[in-house]
Every structure is written in C-alpha cells, then in structure tokens.
Amino acid sequence: MNEFTLPVWVVAAAKSATNILIGNKYQDTEIINLPNKEESVRVPISSSALLDNGQKSLAVSHCQSGLSLDVTRGLEIWAYIQLTKSTSHSGKIVENGFPDWLDFHAGYGVGKFESSGQPCISQFARDLLCINLYPLLPKDCSIKLEIVLPEGKARALKTSNKAFGVVDGLSLIGTQAEVQISASPEQLKNCLEILQQKCSESTFDGCLTFVIGENGMDLALRFGLPAKQIIKTGNWLGPLLVAAAENGVKKLLLFGYHGKLIKLSGGIFHTHHHLADGRLEILTSLAVREGISLDLVQLISKATSVENALLALESKKKEDVALIWGRMAKEIEIQSLSYVNRYLSSSMEIGSVLFDRQRQIRWAGFKGLKQINSLGLILK
C-alpha cells in the first residue's frame, strides 16, 4: 500500500485535474516530484473529469496513510482546477504565500487559521504544489485551485486543530512525503538513524533541535530554526535524548506544544497518550510549586483537560498562567538532563521553547532562551 502524508494526496489530485484540463489522457496514477530531491513517488488517483463544458476539471484521490490511527486515513480529496488568462506572472509570492500564477483556495473541510482566515498549509505542501503544477501551466495562463475535503470538518473535531487556532477543517501541514507513525518502534529506529547521520556529517556543529510532530516542524521552520539541525522525533523523546548525548550533541533544543512537552516536566519521556498522560496532575504540581493561590490550584485539578484548565486560568489571572508555563519550561530542561544522566554522564545543554494553542511561541527555559538568542531569534 502507498502510505503518504495528506499533502501528497492533495497534490496528486490537483495534478490529475490539471492534466485533464490541458488535454492529457486520464491516468489512474500520478507521478509526484518531491522538493529538493531527485526522486518521485507514484500516487493513485480515484477519478478525474472535465466540468462546465471543459472550462473546469475535478479529480478525486483518497488518502492512504497506512495502518496507523491517523485521522486522514481514507479521507476523500477533491481538487477543482480552472485556468484563467494572465498576461504575465513573475512568480512573485503574494499574500497567501503562493506564487502569483497559482490562485489557491481552501475549500470546505480545509483548516484555516482563526486569527487570519488564511489556510493552514505547510511550506512543504506549497512547494509540492508548485513543483508539480508549474510544468503543466499553459503560456499566458494562471491556475485557480480549490481543495475540498468533504469529511474534513467532521474529522477535524477528533484532532487538536482548534487548540492550535485552526478551524473549519484539517490542516495541510505535512513536511515530508512518507507517513511516519509517531509512537511506533519503526519511527524510533528511523529517528536514531537520522540523528546518527546528522551527527556524523563534517559540517555538524554540535547543535540539534527536536520537534514532536508536524505542527512543531512547521512552526520551527517558520520561526527560523535551521532546518539542517531539526529532527522530528515523534513521541520517543527519552531514548533520543540519550542517543543525542551518546553522539556528541553539545546543545539540544526541545521545541514543542506545551500540551505535549508538559509531560517531560513531570518525568514522562514517551509522550503518546496511550502510554501515559498525567498532564493535569503535573500542571497542578507546577502551580503549587509556583505558589499559585489554593482556589486556582483547585480549579486546575478539577478541569477536564489541560486546555480547559488554561482557559479557566486565563479568564481569572493571566499572570499566573505565565508563571506556571515559565516554571514548566525550566523543569523540562532540568528533568531532561536528569533523565540523560541516569544512563550516562553528560554535560549536554538542553533547552526548551514552547508554543501555545494559537501556535504562538511564548515561553522558554533559561537555556532555551540562550540557544535561540544565539541564532538571532527572539520570543515575541
């Protein structure tokens, strides 16, 4: 079975629809070229047809994301294509982040940032669309593309999208073509191989950044962290912390969503919820240690989720929220180094940087702040 991330299936549908519209014969697979690599993948297409007397086209693909519990598995994707006359296009990037020859529309079921209304789509997905559609672009034309995910809005309710400020559907935030199951042993093996490879390169400067998932990867790149030092770990943080020390890493940055990394501050180093949660208990403990008032501590302990606890706190005393998460960032750094030193003696500097449910980078431990400042980056 072909197991690819959602952006690959979206691009495959868009490419099939474009091919049909410019007069090419329908194929039940599309060859999708990948960014920055001399390779491609072959992706199945369910159907493709002309609409409106040949003025538009529609192609359909179905996301095959493997046997994981990925919410996108089996998701149906519609790509509508229309060509519009354009006297010239420079390739200049416009407001929505696409070149001026590609008019991208997030249709029903595609997630959008609540704050701006812009589609939630990663740079990888943008690049993938441009690389595969531009060679098909007729002279003096632009492409109008609308992506529709008929089940996207309903399926998004099973994700943390709303916690990240994304509404109305699923995000198109894949950062690579192949599916990786964040809690699988195979994911750990792959990450260990990537880590060892990075550390053995002649240009390796001793610095790495760990992100857990696609949201972290996307935001880390947008923030300006060097792509060459980023590894997407999935949930296997404990073994990878030790492996980083073993492979000579001098400075390690843990960059992630506070709702995930909070577990590290409580000594839990595999972050998948099927193995351990305890986040509310950890949050309560952090609040007590910061001297938060008893009534607010009780408010936290009775909440149904970390997100609900934070919302309740913010409505009463925002400054206490900052104290708690500042304490958490500090504890992540302390507990992570302590975890590594259970297995080997290490002076590796571990920093932490946290973003909130609106994808705003908000908090950092002392060492995390030091590391990002050394890169010329600052917290807003």
How is 324-355 classified by DSSP, letter by letter?
Answer: HHHHHHHHHHHHHHHHHHTTS----EEEEEEE
Q: How far is CA 109 from CA 105, 155, 167, 350, in A?
A: 11, 9, 9, 39
Which amino acid does the sequence have at 316? K
Q: How far apart are CA 12 and CA 228, in angstroms?
A: 27
Q: Please identify, among 139, 170, 201, the residue that sits at the C-terminal boundary of a domain.
A: 170
pLDDT over 60 (residue 206): yes
Quick one: 196 and 343 in the same domain? yes
pLDDT, average across residues 152-172: 84
Residue 179 lies in a domain: no
β-bridge pairing 47-51 and 76-85? unpaired
Task: Name the percent of the chain lying above pLDDT 90.
Answer: 47
pTM of this structure: 0.60
CA dihedral 11, 16, 22, 27 (to 10 degrees): 150
Q: Which domain holds residue 356?
A: 185-374
Lowest-confidence pick of 85-94, 133-142, 150-159: 85-94
Quick one: 250 and 342 in the same domain? yes
Residue 91 lies in a domain: yes
β-bridge pairing 207-211 and 112-113? unpaired
Q: Which one has a higher pLDDT value, 108 or 305? A: 108
Q: What is the mean pLDDT of the chain?
A: 86
Residue 380 lies in a domain: no
Q: Please identify, among 145, 170, 195, the residue that sits at the C-terminal boundary of a domain.
A: 170
Both structure tokens of 356: 């909130």
If DSSP codes are grouped into helix, strand and coil, which group holds residue 182? coil
Q: In what order do the strands lie in the sheet with 207-211?
A: 230-232, 207-211, 251-257, 349-355, 361-364
Q: How far apart are CA 281 and CA 190, in angstroms?
A: 32
Quick one: 350 and 278 in the same domain? yes
pLDDT number for residue 2 = 60
Residue 337 lies in a domain: yes
Quick one: 158 and 223 in the same domain? no
CB atoms within 10 A of CB 55: 10
pLDDT, average across residues 289-311: 81
pLDDT classification of 273: cutoffs 50, 70, 90: very low
Q: How many residues does the chain have?
A: 380
* 209 close to 239: Cβ distance less than 8 angstroms: no
Which amino acid does the sequence have at 205? D
Quick one: 217 and 363 in the same domain? yes
Residue 157 lies in a domain: yes
pLDDT over 80 (residue 214): no
Q: Which one has a higher pLDDT value, 272 or 332? A: 332
Quick one: 239 and 112 in the same domain? no
CB atoms within 10 A of CB 285: 18
pLDDT number for residue 62 = 95
Specify the DSSP element, H or E, that contains 56.
strand 56-62
Quick one: 263 and 152 in the same domain? no
Q: Please identify, among 170, 197, 218, the residue that sits at the C-terminal boundary of a domain.
A: 170
Quick one: 118 and 258 in the same domain? no
Nearest alpha carbon to residue 127 among 90, 95, 98: 98
Q: How far apart are CA 16 and CA 104, in angstroms?
A: 16
Residue with tokens 């980023």: 230
* 79 close to 13: Cβ distance less than 8 angstroms: yes
Range with top average pLDDT, 42-56, 66-80, 287-301:
42-56
Quick one: 231 and 164 in the same domain? no
pLDDT classification of 49: cutoffs 50, 70, 90: very high
Quick one: 77 and 202 in the same domain? no
CATH number at residue 26: 3.30.2110.10
pLDDT over 50 (residue 108): yes
Instruction: Report how many domains make up the chain.
Output: 2
Quick one: 348 and 259 in the same domain? yes
Nearest alpha carbon to residue 328 among 269, 377, 299, 287: 287
pLDDT classification of 91: cutoffs 50, 70, 90: low
Q: How far is CA 57 from CA 103, 132, 152, 189, 313, in A?
A: 15, 17, 21, 42, 50
Residue 316 lies in a domain: yes
Residue 208 lies in a domain: yes
* 170 close to 63: Cβ distance less than 8 angstroms: no
Residue 225 lies in a domain: yes
Q: How far apart are CA 311 and CA 1, in angstroms?
A: 42
Quick one: 158 and 190 in the same domain? no
CA dihedral 149, 152, 154, 156 (to 10 degrees): -170
